[in-house]
Homo-oligomer: A and B are copies of this chain.
Amino acid sequence: MKLGRMNHVGVAVPDIDAAIVHYRETMGAAVVTRPFDLPEQGVRVCFVHTPGHGGSEGTQVELLAPLDDQSPVAGFMAKNPAGGQHHICYEVPDIAAARAEFEAMGKRILGPTRTGAHGTPIFFLHPKDMQGILTEIMETLREETH
């Protein structure tokens, strides 16, 4: 496969509203999306926009708070109560092709391909096969043309 755009860095936070205040007031973020629940992943999420080169859209920071104790993020928060970097997400043009390539390389994929926070199909790769990094692969969001 060909390395795609780094769509976002997933950051686990204990309190999503407090984290939004941090990114707005301490870091000076101009755009933070409205948080919403993603029950399929057990998290409440929102995105902090960062500027890219030359006015382009940069890599986002995805703020993740566990919805409950059963959340996949709950274990991370127990180990990192202040929060911390949780995963990195790269885009691919075709999620099925990417999944097949990682499978062919013997990389462990965590569960089925499902819909991610941007509404496109995603899957996660096991950190033990990815240099210790929980890696999300997402299909690039195609802007609708009218």
What is the interface of chain A, defined by CB distance below 8 A to chain B?
1-6, 9, 11-13, 19, 22-23, 26-30, 48, 50-54, 56-59, 61, 80, 82-86, 88, 90, 102, 105, 107, 127-128, 130-133
A53 to B143, CA, bound (A): 13
Contact A50 B131, CB 8 Å, known A1-B28, A59-B58, A59-B59 = no
Chain B residues with CB below 8 A from A107, complex form: 26
A74 to B32, CA, bound (A): 35
Chain B residues with CB below 8 A from A54, complex form: 56
Decide: A53 and B5 in contact? CB cutoff 8 A: yes
Decide: B4 and A51 in contact? CB cutoff 8 A: yes
Q: Which of A50, A80, A86, A131 has the most CB of B within 10 A?
A: A131
Decide: B29 and A3 in contact? CB cutoff 8 A: yes
Chain B residues with CB below 8 A from A128, complex form: 82
Decide: A11 and B133 in contact? CB cutoff 8 A: yes
Contact A58 B6, CB 8 Å, known A105-B26, A127-B82 = yes
A42 to chain B, nearest CB (A): 19
Which residue from B30, B59, B133 sits with its C-beta under 8 Å from A85?
Answer: B133
Decide: B84 and A133 in contact? CB cutoff 8 A: yes
Chain B residues with CB below 8 A from A12, complex form: 132
Which residue from B9, B13, B130 sits with its C-beta under 8 Å from A6?
Answer: B9
